[in-house]
């Protein structure tokens, strides 16, 4: 194997609400960087995400999240993407030649339909019904004397291949459903420009605005109580009796 790839394929041309989706996935403060061709970023650096479109698909190249999807259960990322893109295939592909790592996962409407993954240490995930795109390779599968699954090609009857040696072949065959041709033959995809982003994994703290305290009422200085109005009693002249 000589391929390195880490990507999510969303089988939809609907515009990806980048900020909303990536914050839901736990990636914050996205900042654009220069665009790069797919062949350069299909296995990006740990601190970069690249997003592009090809053949009716939105493709996200990033680390960590694709590997988290290679299990029997639906990952958090798959749940988020499936809820955002209803009635849409969400497919994960992962390849890494150093350890013969390979894997793929298919989720539709939040349900895991298929997942397979492994490395030079063996197959670790085998879940779901066989996909149409897998049938040709599985048709040449056999059991060896140890009861292990092997693959034998008609034109190489003396050669036996283990799962990890054909992992990338399975990925390529499944990719034809979405890319129109095998990933390893997609010259136009290799040249397609993908928008890059940097990000933070630390959720920013949003400080609540300080509420202004109501001003205390201004107290008027105390004033002396008003003097009671003097009552002037006019005395009648002594000679008046009325």
In-domain check, residue 237: no
- Helix residue ranges per DSSP H, the chain: 18-24, 38-41, 65-68, 76-84, 135-138, 163-179, 187-191
Cα–Cα dist 16/24, whole Å: 13
Residue 83 lies in a domain: yes
94/124 Cα distance (integer angstroms): 14
How far, in Å, CA of 85 to CA of 11, rounded? 9
In a domain, 227, yes or no: no
Residue 51 located in a structural domain:
yes
Alpha helices in 25-113 (DSSP H): 38-41, 65-68, 76-84
Partner residues linked to 194 by β-bridges? 36
218 found inside a domain: no
| Inside any domain, residue 92 | yes
Q: Is 11 helix (H, G, I), strand (E, B) or coil?
A: coil
Query: In residues, how long is the chain?
Result: 242
Please state the domain count of the chain: 1
Q: Band the pLDDT of 212: cuts 50, 70, 90.
A: low
pTM of the predicted model as reported, rounded to 2 decimal places: 0.84
**Per mean pLDDT, which range of 155-159, 183-187, 228-232 is the poorest?**
228-232
Q: Is the pLDDT of residue 240 over 60?
A: no
Whole-Å CA distances, 206 to 30, 38, 203: 16, 35, 9
Structural domain includes residue 207: no
Whether residue 108 is contained in a domain is answered as: yes
Interval 187-199 mean pLDDT: 98
**Opening angle at CA 206, ends 202 and 208, nearest 5:** 160
Structural domain containing residue 181: 4-200
Summarize pLDDT for 24-67 with one digit per residue, the tens: 999 999 999 999 999 999 999 999 999 999 999 999 999 999 99
Q: Which whole-number Å values give the CA distances from 79 to 3, 57, 71, 106, 225, in the listed order?
A: 28, 18, 13, 12, 76
Q: Residue 114 has which token pair?
A: 């298929």
């Amino acid at each position: 194997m000589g391929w390195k790839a880490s990507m999510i394929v969303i089988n939809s041309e609907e515009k990806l609400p980048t900020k909303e989706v990536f914050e839901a996935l736990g990636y914050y403060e996205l900042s654009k960087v220069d665009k790069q061709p797919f062949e350069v970023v299909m296995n990006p650096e740990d601190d970069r995400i690249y997003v592009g479109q090809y053949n009716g698909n939105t493709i996200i190249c990033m680390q960590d999240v694709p590997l988290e999807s290679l299990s029997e259960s639906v990952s958090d990322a798959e749940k988020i993407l499936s809820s955002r893109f209803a009635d849409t295939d969400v497919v994960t592909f992962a390849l890494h030649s150093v350890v013969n790592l390979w894997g793929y996962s298919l989720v539709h409407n939040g349900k895991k339909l298929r997942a397979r993954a492994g490395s030079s240490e063996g197959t670790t995930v085998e879940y779901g019904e066989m996909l149409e795109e897998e049938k040709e390779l599985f048709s040449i599968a056999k059991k060896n004397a140890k009861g292990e699954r092997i693959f034998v090609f008609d034109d190489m009857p003396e050669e036996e291949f283990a799962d990890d040696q054909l992992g990338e072949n399975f990925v390529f065959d499944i990719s034809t459903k979405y890319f129109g041709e095998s990933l390893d033959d997609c010259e136009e995809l290799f040249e397609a420009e993908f928008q890059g982003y940097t990000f933070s994994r630390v959720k920013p703290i949003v400080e609540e605005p300080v509420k202004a305290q109501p001003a205390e009422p201004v107290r008027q200085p105390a004033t002396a109580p008003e003097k009671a109005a003097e009552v002037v009693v006019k005395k009648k002249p002594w000679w008046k009796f009325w």
